[in-house]
Chain A
């Protein structure tokens, strides 16, 4: 539910109640005022009657109208006290009961006692009530209508900065180099929110940056000690006595140092791609690169008895040659490495996509995991670094390509969709 809808719900409910209460209060106050006025005119009437009696010692002649009627009733004793009451009386012309206000008081004229009843119609107050009701209903309706229009036109504008911010936050990616600062809106609350978000974004980016730098530096710093391990091992190898008794250990150390060094350079490469140190501004002839790579790997391909089917159209686009080469190398090497003897590799290239597919003893890979660093399928026998596909993914990210893995008919296929990068 939208904040305003919720707010509006209470608001409307409250305004209806307030309007109804207001109407009732208004009605009662008006009623009272009118009754008082009526009572005053009744009193005036009484004074007139009393004056007449005083002057003439006789009852006055009365002309009764529908509005005002005066009745004299002879009593045995003096009518005890003056009273004003509201009561109902049959209204002949309207054929219904009308509220009337009756004033009774006692009078003595020509030695006789009378009870005088002056009554006035209260029709006006009823009419007042009838007039107020539609006004109240009309006002409630107007309020609702106004609320609706305010919501419709005004609120949308007022909340615009809020939705802008949300939209901007939605497009926030940690690895994106530039994230525009949220602008001032002129509304205190939104400005406060934007300021906090700006602070948060820059803090997060800073942390991420230092983390990235740490990875890069750590990998760098490892290069020299690694060189020492590798080179000293190579020196040890030259000592025949040592080699004779410890060749297995030396081989293990050398192997491990070698693997660590490759892992390290892969990590460094990843960090560099992530930091966007490669600028995509070179013309890359993918078909030529692929053919070159395949030729280089021909030896391996033949030794494993792999059959390669290629369908390569000339494709030139703007990318980074070195990265494109790494990307192809990783994909092709994977296609060979995770293949079985006598398997197949399919390479397709056109200006929409590049696809490299291979047969493999491995079942379908977990799509969610293959791009994760250091992920290797539990059944893999050959030792890869587990970084190959992460590097490919990272290159695609930077280049704006889409990297897709599919599996059908026993073929693992990795395709790269070039999008909006063609010449």
Chain B
């Protein structure tokens, strides 16, 4: 469920996530959110802290008081360390500062759902590629693939956001966090993507990584 008061933002999140085979419901205010939370159970709640009719942190407290097992991601315009700490202390699983990239949100949601999923589905599959998340290992046709940490992160990011065009900026921010802001050199992404593609191909996988008009990349079956 998406709780975000800004309609345009709410819509784009829902649109992006729905395409990712997530079933999304969305509300734009505190009262509606409260009603939905009481009646339904969700895998994950994306919660904006600043709502027109109430405080998101309060909502978080209510959810946690109900002992609901939802994973919660806070999205906030406030990048205050205190807010972040308070949110996490109150039981939020993650904290994303606006503005964020949609693929990033998608990865975080996947991670939370996976973590909360008691059935223990810790495997991420894409065609002949199988990723064991807890072990951080990649199998291609059941053969272990030797891969660096960054390449692994990149592959997980690609697979979770498969069939989507991912901009270099979004990828950079995912791999390097805010530091990349200082390093506006996209050659690194190119290098990493090139290496990952080479390794995948060598291990016998298909070529799934496509370069899209110099904007970014798309991971999909051609």
Contacts and interface: CB of A to CB of B under 8 A. Distances in A.
B8 interface: yes
A228 B182 contact: no
A251 B215 contact: yes
Interface in B136-167: 164-165, 167
A381 B219 CA distance: 33
A231 B183 contact: no
A232 B102 CA distance: 9
Interface residues of A, number: 49
A234 B102 contact: yes
B10 to A, nearest CB: 10
B77 A224 contact: yes
B16 A234 contact: yes
Interface stretch (B29-37, B53-61, B63-71, B93-101): B93-101
B213 A251 contact: yes
A32 interface: no
Q: For this complex, into which size category does the number of interface residues on chain B fall?
A: 35 or more
B12 A232 contact: yes
Interface of A is mostly: helix
Nearest to A247: B213
Interface string A309-349: 00000000000001000000110011011000000000000
A34 interface: no
Given A235-B102, A247-B213, A228 B6 contact: yes
A162 to B, nearest CB: 44
A216 to B, nearest CB: 10
B159 to A, nearest CB: 17
Contacts of A224: 6, 9, 77, 98-99
A297 B214 CA distance: 25
Interface in A232-280: 232, 234-235, 237-238, 243-244, 247-248, 250-251, 254-255, 257-258, 261-262, 265, 268-269, 272, 277
Given A237-B167, A238-B165, A223 B77 contact: yes
B207 interface: no
Given A231-B12, A243-B213, A322 B184 contact: no
A386 interface: no
A299 B187 CA distance: 11
Contacts of A388: 182
Nearest to A266: B181
Contact of B215 (A230, A247, A334): A247
A247 B185 CA distance: 20
Contacts of A300: 183, 185, 188
Nearest to A237: B165
Contacts of A235: 12, 15-16, 102
Closest 6 CB pairs of A and B: A333-B182, A247-B213, A223-B77, A227-B99, A231-B12, A237-B165
Given A235-B12, A251-B213, A262-B181, 6 more contacts: A228-B6, A230-B99, A234-B167, A261-B99, A297-B179, A303-B187
30 contacts: A220-B77, A220-B78, A221-B77, A223-B77, A223-B98, A227-B6, A228-B6, A228-B8, A234-B12, A234-B101, A234-B103, A234-B167, A235-B16, A235-B102, A237-B165, A237-B167, A237-B212, A243-B212, A247-B213, A255-B169, A258-B169, A265-B181, A269-B79, A272-B80, A303-B191, A329-B182, A330-B182, A333-B179, A382-B184, A383-B184
